A = this chain, B = another copy of it.
Amino acid sequence: MMTVPVPGATVGVVGGGQLGRMLAEAASPLGVDVVALDPTPDCPAVPPATAQVTAAFDDAEGVRELAERADVLTYEIELADPDLLESVAADADVEVHPTPDTLRTIQDKLVQNRALEDAGVPVPDFTAVDDADDLEAAFDDLGSPLMVKARTGGYDGRGNAPVESVAEAREAFDGLDGLVAEELVDFERELSVIAVRGDGETATFPVAENVHEDEILRESVVPARTSEDVREHATAVARDVLGALDGRGVFGIELFERETDDGTEILVNEIAPRPHNSGHYTIEGCHTSQFEQFARAVCGLPLGATGLRGPAVMANILGDPDAEKRPADLAGAPDALAKPGVSLHWYGKREVRPLRKMGHVTAVGADRETLLDRARAARDATGFE
């Protein structure tokens, strides 16, 4: 392993959104600098990140400059280009974590599902779809509606749609090639586990329960309101997922909890090769946040303690559906901060877009139901969605 000097290391991160921003906030105490590559000038990560390379995620010159300024490369967005990262890192003699191979696996949902299946990790039944015949066969085998996903290019629920007919799929995906069809899981709960691989060690964070609306995460409740057995089961599945992926880093693993006649099943829904929205609660909720772990992991430092300090609820703050608000319209921030035990994280985005993630609040210091009420009330108080 190449040595990353701490303090004094610079992490080069492809993507300068809120994940890069919270990485930089967490890296600063460790004496680790962050340089972010992002096409948007004044991206959310900078400051607190030291500097920005303003370039497209797949811009060779930009990624080369990033590598030259960094001791290790990583990414906070799946749209990073694994081939480019691999070649540039080799030239600059730095490592990329998680590995470009892992990024390739995760970028293609069909490859991802097959890799998980090969590793013995439970996933929803799935099949590749490249034309109408494939899709018809999928309806026959896996039922209707199906959850259809674009193999590549989707993230955070984008590029996914439940469909009941070939025509519907054709409209949703602008054609039928490069898709994967999955059984639509009738789940009890959506759970997630943030799993981490460091230098020769792994760790998992407590299991979160995720409340989605229209495929967008609204709240995470921790610990998940299910049985201890199910939480242990979910954690074991997350560890198995980690076993199927290479390289140091943080992985957000989304899971379905499904009741069957044979008991509770845990199925892997999605994997993100980076810190995940459903792990934001770790900043206030755990001894070490997912962002500090990210910095520790990619630098090859020992991982921190992942224990839960107490129940925590995170609620996302989203742009209004018509995007009529401006960032400065967060006039309700004081009201949000007045709720007991509530922290605000504002991402510094220059522009509101419909349902764009603008920030989040986390509530700690009480029981989960009280915290859920407080987090929602704080979010509502901001005036955003």
The answer to whether residues A333 and B7 also contact, given A309-B310, A365-B307 and a CB cut-off of 8 A, is yes
Chain B min CB distance to A371 (Å): 12
A167 within 8 A of B: no
Determine the chain B residues whose CB is within 8 A of the CB of A330 once the complex forms.
6-7, 31
Q: 1/0 contact trace for A23-58 toward B, CB 8 Å?
A: 011001111010000000000000111100000000
Taking a contact as CB atoms closer than 8 A, the residue among B31, B284, B300, B344 that contacts A30 in the complex is B344
> Hey, which chain B residues are within 8 Å of A6, CB to CB?
330, 333-334
B50–A346 contact, CB under 8 A? Answer: no
> Does residue A274 face the partner (Cβ distance < 8 Å to B)?
no
Contacts of A337 in B (CB 8 A): 30, 296, 301-302, 304
A30 in contact with B287 given A5-B328, A302-B337 (CB within 8 Å): no
Complex interface: chain B residues within 8 A of A29 (CB)? 22, 25, 343-346
Bound-state CA distance A343–B29 (Å) is 9
Could you say which residues of chain B place their CB within 8 Å of the CB of A340? 305
Contact status B301-A346, CB under 8 Å: no
Q: Does A119 have its Cβ within 8 Å of any Cβ on chain B?
A: no
In-complex Cβ contact of A28 among B48, B300, B328 (8 A): B48
Cβ-based interface call for A107 (8 A): no
> Are A48 and B31 interface neighbours, CB within 8 A?
no
Q: Report A302-352 residues with CB < 8 Å from chain B CB.
A: 302, 304-305, 307, 309-310, 327-328, 330, 333-334, 337-338, 340-346, 348
Known A309-B310, A365-B287: A346·B31 in contact at CB below 8 Å = yes
Chain A 252-295 per-residue mask, 1 if CB under 8 angstroms from chain B, else 0: 00000000000000000000000000000000100110001000
Say if the beta carbon of A243 comes within 8 Å of chain B. Answer: no
CB distance from A48 to the nearest CB of B (A): 4
**If A8-B327, A337-B296 touch, does A284 touch B287 (CB 8 Å cutoff)?**
yes
Chain B's closest residue to A7 (CB) is B346
From B7, B292, B364, give the contact of A327 (CB < 8 A): B7
Residue A21 interfacial (CB < 8 Å): yes
**Chain B nearest CB: distance from A181 CB in Å?**
40
Tell me, in angstroms, the Cα distance from A263 to B89 when the chains sit together: 68
User: Which residues of chain B have C-beta atoms less than 8 A from A296's C-beta?
Assistant: 337
How far in angstroms is the closest Cβ of chain B from A17?
14
CA distance A345 to B341 in the complex (A): 24
Give the docked Cα–Cα distance between A371 and B328 (Å).
Answer: 43
Give A339's nearest chain B residue, CB to CB. B302
Chain B residues contacting A21 (CB-CB under 8 Å) are 28
Provide the residues of chain B in CB contact with A301, threshold 8 Å: 333-334, 337
Interchain CA distance A288-B341 in the complex, whole Å: 8
A342 to B309, CA, bound (A): 14
Our pick among B47, B292, B364 for the contact of A49 (Cβ within 8 Å) is B47
Specify which chain B residues have a CB less than 8 angstroms from the CB of A343 in the assembled complex: 29, 288, 292, 304
The 10 closest A-B pairs by CB, nearest first: A31-B346, A302-B338, A48-B48, A29-B345, A7-B346, A305-B341, A302-B337, A6-B333, A28-B48, A47-B47
Q: List 18 A-B contacts (CB under 8 A).
A: A7-B330, A7-B333, A7-B346, A22-B29, A24-B48, A25-B25, A29-B343, A29-B345, A30-B344, A47-B47, A47-B49, A284-B287, A287-B365, A292-B343, A301-B334, A304-B341, A305-B340, A307-B365
Given contact pairs A29-B345, A30-B333, A47-B47, a sample of 14 additional A-B residue pairs in the complex whose CB atoms are under 8 Å apart:
A5-B328, A7-B330, A7-B348, A22-B29, A25-B25, A25-B28, A28-B47, A29-B343, A47-B50, A48-B48, A288-B343, A304-B341, A309-B309, A309-B310
